[in-house]
A and B are shown apart, each in its own frame.
Chain A
Amino acid sequence: MLVLTRKENESIMIGDNIEVKILDVRENQVRVGVDAPREVTVHRKEIYLAIKKENIEAAAAARDAKDVEKIIGGT
């Protein structure tokens, strides 16, 4: 992993189009601004992983699901 030291309001460029800026540094929290082109998705990692996991579960459960119309009744 590349490790760089930055101060508040300093940035890192990733390639030509992605800027990661340190906005605010507090005791154990850092606010980071990401400026990226539209096709680059930016997520908090734990959220990204949780959503990916839930999507995979959705597809796996759907593969085995029977009588879906009965299960999701009333909708």
Chain B
Amino acid sequence: MKVETLRFGVVELAEKDVIEFTQPILGFADCTRFFRVEIAEKESVFWLQSVDKPEVAFIVMNPLQVLPDYEVRIVESDVADLHLEDEKEAEVLTLVVVPKDTAQVRTNLKAPIVFNPRLKLAKQVVLHESDYPIRYYLHGVPPKEEEVQEPTDAGSHAERK
């Protein structure tokens, strides 16, 4: 199939390379299909380009490259939703924000993307129980803009049927 994109022009894409989001990335309800575009000489950073909307593309990274201890506990309902045979099968990616002031490049550790590479299924999950920030600054630059408010109470969670 031919896919029109703003950044990469018209791309010839094989069906098998389409990544289907079982839940859309929050704020992008009409973009459920994406594909991976590699960045030269980088393995841990790449693009997720929308199939449905030419102008929608995200930069994603493997967060373990900057935070080797980063831990995502994938809940049972997500294991089922993504048809993971095993939690270890999942790849975890995080969305990167590259603002104009590139010293403030940051990634969202609170809401990573969990990816099943075997079935090409993905979803953005929210780590309700964790203290990971929505804005983790890769270069440790303190933010000048207003802070994102995060509640400190822990312990509530949804139980799934």
Please pick, from A53, A58, A63, the residue contacting B96 in the complex, using a CB distance under 8 A: A58
Cross-chain contact A63 with B58 (CB below 8 angstroms): no
Q: Known contacts A35-B158, A38-B77; is A47 also within 8 Å of B110 by CB?
A: yes
In the complex, the answer to whether A62 meets B58 with C-beta atoms within 8 Å is yes
Inter-chain contact B156/A52, CB cutoff 8 Å = no
Q: Does B98 contact A (CB under 8 A)?
A: yes
What is the distance, in angstroms, from B122's C-beta to the closest C-beta of chain A?
14
Chain A, range 14-49, C-beta contacts under 8 Å to B = 17, 29, 31-39, 41-44, 46-48
Query: Count the A-B residue pairs with Cβ separation under 8 angstroms: how many?
Result: 133
| Of the residues B66, B97, B108, contact of A61 by C-beta under 8 Å | B97
Contacts A58-B97, A58-B108, A62-B98 given; does A32 touch B42 at CB 8 Å: no
Chain B's interface size range is 35 or more
Contact A35–B6 (Cβ < 8 Å): no
Number of residues of chain A lying within 8 A (CB) of chain B: 38
> In this assembly, does A57 line the interface, its C-beta being within 8 Å of a C-beta of chain B?
yes
**Interfacial chain A residues near B100, Cβ < 8 Å:** 61, 64
Confirm or deny: A72 has a beta carbon within 8 angstroms of a beta carbon on chain B. Answer: yes
User: From residue B104, how far is it (CB to closest CB) to chain A in Å?
Assistant: 10
| Interchain nearest-CB distance for B100 vs A (Å) | 7
On whether the beta carbons of B55 and A51 are closer than 8 Å, the reply is no
User: Which B residues are in CB contact (< 8 Å) with A4?
Assistant: none
Given A38-B77, A47-B150: A63 and B105 interface contact (C-beta under 8 Å): no
Q: Measuring CB to CB, which residues of chain B are less than 8 angstroms from any residue of chain A? A: 6-7, 23, 25-28, 39-42, 44-45, 47, 55-59, 61-62, 65-66, 77, 80-81, 95-100, 102, 105, 108, 110-111, 124, 126, 128, 134-135, 138, 148-151, 153, 155-156, 158-161
11 contacts between A and B (CB under 8 A): A29-B153, A36-B161, A39-B23, A48-B26, A48-B126, A50-B134, A51-B111, A59-B28, A71-B98, A72-B45, A75-B61
